[in-house]
Structure 1
C-alpha cells in the first residue's frame, strides 16, 4: 500500500539528478528501470523496495542506514517514479518485479544483500527472498501489506471510519452500483477513462490515503478544495489499481507461504501501533510465520516510516544487522 514518504513532488528534481548519473537498466518489453546508489561502495549492500504499488523511491529512504557502512541501492519499479514508460501496466506484475530485483543485483555485481521494504515493498521483499534466499542476507520489513482481500477491504472500506470525509469524497465519484466492487471500477477507470476523470479520481484517492497515513493533517486537508491530480499522480494510481485489483498477483496465502519458507533468513519487523493503512496484525502474523524473526512495535506511529518511533527502530535494526549479521540482539530494552 502507499508509503507516506513517497511523493510525486520529488519527481522533477530526481529526474534531473538521475539523468546526470545515467543510472538506467533496460528490461524487457520496452521497460527501463531507473536506479541509483548512495552511501559507501565498499559498505554492506542493501536494496530498498518502495511501496505503492505505483509509488517510487525517495531520497529520504536512505535515512534508515548509516551511509558510511551501507551501500544503499534504490530503484523504481516498472511504471513507477523515474522508470519508463511511466504508468505502464503491460508486462508489469509481481513475477517480473522479483526478477528485476535479481537482474539489478547481477548488474551491480553484488553477491548478497539486505532487503528492506515497507508496505507493498515488504510483500515484494518476501516474494523476492522466497525465490532467491541465497541472495538475501536478511530482511527488514515495515508496515506489511499482505495483498489479500482482507487488506484491500480494510483500506477502502473498514478504515474509512478514521477518515470519513476524505472517504466520502472518493466514494462520491464512484457509481453506486460499483461501490462494493471498488477496485474493479478503479482499475477500469484508470485503464479506459479520460484524463480528466483519472485526474479527479486520483486526487480523491490521494487525499484519502494521506488522511489515513497522517491523521494530523486532516483538518488542513478538509479545508482545501480538491484540485485535479497531475499526470504523474494519476499514472501512479494507474499502476496501483492494476496491482490491487489483482491482489498484487500474490494474495495473502502466497505471501504467508513465502514468509513460512524463510526459516534461515534473519528478519526484523517494525509496525506502527496506529497504522490505519496496513493493519498491525499483519506483522504479527508474519513474525509467527518466520521462525526466529523479531518484531518491534513503533508506539504511536502510523504508516509513515519517518515517524520518529518507526525511524528510530528501523535505524537500530540496520545498525544491529551491520554489527552482527542478524537481529538476535534487536530490539534491546532501549529500542523497545
Structure 2
C-alpha cells in the first residue's frame, strides 16, 4: 500500500466513475422490489457489494473499487432503502430475508460463484450469507467489521463511544428524557415508529447524524442528513438492532464460522474505528483460519477513508490474476 495515503484523498485510489450497463427492479416477494445494477465487464469476474446500515443503500462510488475491465460489478439496495421499494419499510425485512435476496440476485443474473464485498453491516450480512450459502462464495472482503452482538450495540448506543466525544453524544442522548436513557435503542424506536412523520424525521436525523459524525478520523461534527435517507437509515438500523439483528443467539456469527466450510477472506479494519472497534475484527480473524487481517493506521470506519480505500482497491487488484472462481 502507498504509505503516503494520509496526504491523498480516497478518490486518488479509485477507478474513474462508470455507469451501469444494466439496471433492473427485481421482485423478491413479500411486496419488496430491489434495485439491482451491473457495471464493468459483463463477462468478468463477478463481485457483489453489500452496503452498510442496515439501510445505507448503495452509491456510484462503490463501483470504483474494482477494475471495470476485469470485474462484473453487482450493486443493489437492500430491502427498504435506496431505490428499492417500499421505502423505509421494515415489514418482511430481516437478515434471513436479505440472505434470500442475495441468492435470488445471484440466480437471476446467472452467476455461479462471486466475491462478496461488504463493510460494516455489509460485513455482517456477508458473513451470514457465507454461513448459509458457502458454495457460491469465492472470497469474502470485509471492512469495518460488525458482528451484530450486544457488546457492539452497547458500545455505540450505550455511551462507550460517547465517552470519547461527549459533546456529540449529548446531542444524541439528551434528546431522550432521562428516565428512558437506559435503553436508547428502545427509546428511539418509539419515536422512529410513532406514526408522526415530523417526529420520525427529527429523531431519524439525530440517529443518523450520531453515526455519521463518528465515521471518519478527521470529521467529528454533526451535519444535517437528508430526510429521505435519514428516515430509511434510522428506521432500518433501529429495527434490526431492536431484534438482535435477527440472529438466534448473541455471538452467532462467531460460533457458526464452521458453517462457512472453507470460505476464505480478507478483513480491512481502521485502527481508530469508533463505530466498530478493531477488537471485533481481531477476534474474528483469530477465530477464522481462512482469514487475513489488514489493520489500517490512522483510519476510522468509513469506506471513504483514504487508507481504507487504498487497501480495498489493492486487494481487489490482487485478485485479477487469481484462480478464485475455479477453487
**For the Cα contact (< 8 Å) 1:163–1:211, is it kept in 2?**
no
Q: What's the secondary structure of 1:179's corresponding residue?
A: helix
For the residues of structure 2 that align with 1:88 and 1:321, how far apart are their CA atoms? 37
| Partner of residue 143, structure 2 | 142
Asked whether the 8 Å contact 2:80–2:90 carries over to 1, the reply is: yes
CA distance in 2, matches of 1:228, 1:289: 37
Contact 1:98 1:128 in 2 (8 A): yes
Tell me the distance in 2 between the aligned counterparts of 1:320 and 1:202.
40
Task: Report the CA distance between 1:170 and its aligned residue.
Answer: 1.4
Question: How far 1:188 moved relative to its partner?
Answer: 2.2
Q: CA deviation at 1:228?
A: 8.3
Alignment partner, residue 295 of structure 2: 297
Q: Say whether 1:283 aligns with 2:281.
A: yes
- Counterpart in 2 of 1:237? 234
- After superposition, residues 183-222 of structure 1 pair within 5 angstroms as 183-218=185-220, 221=221
- Between the aligned partners of 1:43 and 1:211, the Cα distance in structure 2 is 37
Equivalent in the alignment of 1:171: 173
Which digits, 9 at most, give the CA deviation of each residue in 1:281-323, with x for residues without a partner?
1111111222131111111110012212111111121122232
CA distance in 2, matches of 1:247, 1:209: 18
Moved over 4 A (4+): none
Q: List aligned pairs for 1:33-52, cutoff 5 A.
A: 33-52=34-53
SS of 1:34's equivalent in the other structure is: strand
Give the paired residue count.
Answer: 304
Unmatched segments (≥5 aa) in structure 2? 1-18
Local SS of the residue matching 1:133: coil
**In the aligned structure 1, how far is the partner of 2:273 from the partner of 2:258?**
24
User: Scaled by the length of structure 2, what TM-score is found?
Assistant: 0.88
Give the secondary structure class of the aligned counterpart of 2:182: coil
Alignment of 1:313-328 (within 5 A): 313-325=311-323
Could you tell me how far 1:252 is from its partner in structure 2? 4.3
In 1, the alpha carbon distance for the partners of 2:22 and 2:314 equals: 30
The CA deviation at 1:193 is 4.3
Do structure 1's residue 113 and structure 2's residue 110 form an aligned pair?
Answer: no
Q: Per the alignment, do residues 232 and 305 of structure 1 end up closer, same or farther by CA in structure 2, a change over 3 Å counting?
A: closer
| Residues 141, 265 of structure 2: 8 Å contact kept | yes
C-alpha distance in 1 between matches for 2:149 and 2:261: 23
Q: Counterpart of 2:92? A: 91
1:162 aligns with 2:186: no
Q: Tell whether the 8 Å contact from 1:209 to 1:277 is kept in structure 2 after alignment.
A: yes
* Cα deviation, residue 59, structure 1: 1.2
| 1:51-102 deviation line (CA, Å, top 9, x unaligned) | 0011100111122211111100010110011100011001000001001000
When the two structures are superposed, what TM-score results if normalisation uses the length of structure 1?
0.86
CA contact (8 A) 2:209 2:225 kept: no
More helix by percentage: 1
User: In the aligned structure 2, how far is the partner of 1:22 from the partner of 1:75?
Assistant: 10
